[in-house]
A and B are shown apart, each in its own frame.
Chain A
Amino acid sequence: MVNKNEKLVFDVIVVGAGLAGSAAAVTAARGGLNVVMVERGVAPGSKNYFGGALYTHSLLDIYPDFFDRKPPLERPVTETGFWFLSKDGMVRMTVQGGKINNNPIDAYVAQRAKFDAWWAEQARKEGVFLIPKTVVVDFIRENGKVVGVMTDRAQGEIYAPVVIVCEGVNNLLTQKLGLIKHDFKGNATALAVKQLISLPAETINTRLGLRSSDEGLAISVVGDVSMGLPGLGFLYTGKDSLSLGVGVTLDALSAAQIKPYELLQRYLNHPMIAPLIAGGQLMEYGAHLIPEGGWSTMPQLYTDGVMVAGDAASMVNAMHWEGTNMAITAGKAAGETAVEAHKKGDFSANTLSAYRKRLENTFVLKDLHQYRNMSRFLHNHPEFMDVYPNFLNDALGMFFTGFGKPKKQLYSDILKSLTSRRPLLKAVGDMVAFGRTVMGI
Chain B
Amino acid sequence: MFHALVSIKQVPDTTNIRIDPETNNLIRQGVPTILNPYDAHAVAAAVEWKRKLGGQVTVITMGPASAVTSLRECIEMGADRAILISDRKFAGADTWATSYVLSEVIKAIHAEQPIDLVFFGKQAIDGDTAQVGPGVAVRLDLPIITYAVKIHEVDLQNRKVVIERKTESRNEVIRASLPAALTCEKEIAEIPYASLPDLVYSLRYEPELWTTEGPISFDPTQLGLRGSPTTVFKTGTPEKHKGGEVIKTAELGVEGAVRTALDKILAVEGMASLLGVSK
CB <8 Å contact, B196 and A4: no
CB <8 Å contact, A6 and B197: yes
B199 at the interface (CB under 8 A from A): yes
Chain A residues with Cβ below 8 Å from B198 are 4
Residue of B whose beta carbon sits closest to that of A129: B203
Partner of A131, one of B193, B195, B203, B205: B203
Chain A residues with Cβ below 8 Å from B196 are 8, 131, 134, 151, 153-158
A5 at the interface (CB under 8 A from B): yes
B136 to chain A, nearest CB (A): 29
Q: Mark B191-232, 1 if CB is under 8 A from A, else 0.
A: 001111111110111000000000000000000000000000
Chain B residues with Cβ below 8 Å from A281 are 18
Partner of A4, one of B18, B197, B203: B197
CB <8 Å contact, A2 and B201: yes
Query: With the chains together, A133 CA to B202 CA distance in Å?
Result: 13
Chain A residues with Cβ below 8 Å from B18 are 281
Residue of B whose beta carbon sits closest to that of A114: B30
Partner of B195, one of A2, A133, A155, A158: A155
21 A-B residue pairs with CB within 8 Å: A1-B205, A2-B204, A4-B197, A4-B198, A5-B197, A6-B197, A8-B196, A8-B200, A130-B203, A131-B200, A131-B203, A133-B199, A151-B196, A153-B194, A153-B196, A153-B199, A155-B195, A155-B197, A156-B196, A157-B196, A158-B196
Query: With the chains together, A431 CA to B18 CA distance in Å?
Result: 50
CB <8 Å contact, A4 and B201: yes
Residue of A whose beta carbon sits closest to that of B198: A4
Partner of A156, one of B195, B203, B205: B195
Residue of A whose beta carbon sits closest to that of B193: A153
Residue of B whose beta carbon sits closest to that of A151: B196
Chain A residues with Cβ below 8 Å from B193 are 153-154
Q: How many A-B residue pairs have CB under 8 A?
A: 39
Chain A residues with Cβ below 8 Å from B194 are 153
Q: Nearest 3 pairs between A and B by C-beta?
A: A154-B195, A153-B196, A156-B196
Residue of A whose beta carbon sits closest to that of B194: A153
B15 to chain A, nearest CB (A): 14
Query: With the chains together, A11 CA to B175 CA distance in Å?
Result: 54
Would you list which residues of chain A between 123 and 161 have a CB under 8 Å from chain B?
129-131, 133-134, 151, 153-158
Chain A residues with Cβ below 8 Å from B205 are 1
Query: With the chains together, A6 CA to B201 CA distance in Å?
Result: 10
Query: With the chains together, A153 CA to B197 CA distance in Å?
Result: 9
Chain A residues with Cβ below 8 Å from B204 are 1-2
Would you list which residues of chain A between 1 and 15 have a CB under 8 Å from chain B?
1-2, 4-6, 8
Residue of B whose beta carbon sits closest to that of A42: B32
Query: With the chains together, A157 CA to B193 CA distance in Å?
Result: 16
Chain A residues with Cβ below 8 Å from B200 are 2, 8, 131
Q: Mark A191-211, 1 if CB is under 8 A from B, else 0.
A: 000000000000000000000
Residue of A whose beta carbon sits closest to that of B69: A43
Tally chain A residues at the interface, Cβ within 8 Å: 19
CB <8 Å contact, B197 and A8: yes
Chain B residues with Cβ below 8 Å from A151 are 196
B171 to chain A, nearest CB (A): 33
Chain B residues with Cβ below 8 Å from A134 are 196, 199
Chain B residues with Cβ below 8 Å from A156 are 195-196
Residue of B whose beta carbon sits closest to that of A130: B203
Query: With the chains together, A153 CA to B195 CA distance in Å?
Result: 5
Chain A residues with Cβ below 8 Å from B199 are 131, 133-134, 153
Q: Mark B16-51, 1 if CB is under 8 A from A, else 0.
A: 001000000000000000000000000000000000
Query: With the chains together, A26 CA to B228 CA distance in Å?
Result: 47
Would you list which residues of chain B between 48 and 93 have a CB under 8 Å from chain A?
none
Chain B residues with Cβ below 8 Å from A129 are 203
Chain A residues with Cβ below 8 Å from B203 are 129-131
Given contacts A2-B200, A8-B196, A8-B197, 7 further A-B contacts (CB under 8 A): A5-B197, A131-B200, A134-B196, A134-B199, A151-B196, A153-B196, A157-B196
Query: With the chains together, A158 CA to B193 CA distance in Å?
Result: 18
Chain A residues with Cβ below 8 Å from B201 are 2, 4
B184 to chain A, nearest CB (A): 23
B84 to chain A, nearest CB (A): 17
Query: With the chains together, A155 CA to B197 CA distance in Å?
Result: 7
Chain A residues with Cβ below 8 Å from B197 are 4-6, 8, 155
Chain B residues with Cβ below 8 Å from A133 are 199
Query: With the chains together, A281 CA to B195 CA distance in Å?
Result: 40
Query: With the chains together, A158 CA to B199 CA distance in Å?
Result: 13
Query: With the chains together, A267 CA to B196 CA distance in Å?
Result: 45
B47 to chain A, nearest CB (A): 14
B255 to chain A, nearest CB (A): 46
Query: With the chains together, A441 CA to B259 CA distance in Å?
Result: 84
Residue of B whose beta carbon sits closest to that of A46: B32
Q: Mark B162-202, 1 if CB is under 8 A from A, else 0.
A: 00000000000000000000000000000001111111110
Query: With the chains together, A134 CA to B200 CA distance in Å?
Result: 11
Query: With the chains together, A281 CA to B196 CA distance in Å?
Result: 40
Query: With the chains together, A281 CA to B193 CA distance in Å?
Result: 36
Residue of B whose beta carbon sits closest to that of A8: B200
Query: With the chains together, A134 CA to B197 CA distance in Å?
Result: 12
- Residue from the set A129, A154, A156, A157 with the largest chain B CB neighbour count within 10 Å: A154
Chain B residues with Cβ below 8 Å from A5 are 197
Chain B residues with Cβ below 8 Å from A1 are 204-205
Chain B residues with Cβ below 8 Å from A154 are 193, 195-196
- Residue from the set A5, A8, A153 with the largest chain B CB neighbour count within 10 Å: A153
B219 to chain A, nearest CB (A): 34
Chain B residues with Cβ below 8 Å from A155 are 195-197
Query: With the chains together, A133 CA to B200 CA distance in Å?
Result: 11
Query: With the chains together, A131 CA to B195 CA distance in Å?
Result: 12
Query: With the chains together, A204 CA to B198 CA distance in Å?
Result: 47
Q: Mark A94-136, 1 if CB is under 8 A from B, else 0.
A: 0000000000000000000000000000000000011101100
Query: With the chains together, A401 CA to B68 CA distance in Å?
Result: 66
Residue of B whose beta carbon sits closest to that of A36: B200
Chain A residues with Cβ below 8 Å from B195 are 153-156
B44 to chain A, nearest CB (A): 16
Query: With the chains together, A130 CA to B199 CA distance in Å?
Result: 11
Query: With the chains together, A8 CA to B204 CA distance in Å?
Result: 13
Query: With the chains together, A414 CA to B200 CA distance in Å?
Result: 68
